[in-house]
Amino acid sequence: MPPDDASTDPLVRQLREQISDNDRAIVDAINKRLKLVARLKEYKASRGFEFVDPDREDWMIRYLERANGGPLSDDGLRELFAQILALTKREVQ
């Protein structure tokens, strides 16, 4: 008979812990990305280069689509990185 409370189930607890660990890794990766982009922005500004490079963004999405092994769909990947790019631009301003 299944338990009444999913939070007491050992597998549920184990999977939730793994999800939380993964979420922390995502936050760490985003923070690292923000630091790298801030360095790039500063360098590009010192050289008189434009900060945003739409061609590079398009290349990055195509590269990630090829590298993506799923189950994230290409549409999901594009949506995710549209948000990451928008967030990055806001955060490093």
21-35 b/e (C-beta count within 10 Å ≥ 16 → b): eeeeeeeeeeeeeee
pLDDT in tens, 47-91: 999 999 999 999 999 999 999 999 999 999 999 999 999 999 999
Domain boundaries, the chain: 1-49, 52-93
Which tokens go with 62? Answer: 């195509």
pLDDT in tens, 2-37: 556 888 999 999 999 999 999 999 999 999 999 999
Q: Where are the beta strands (DSSP E) in 1-93?
A: none
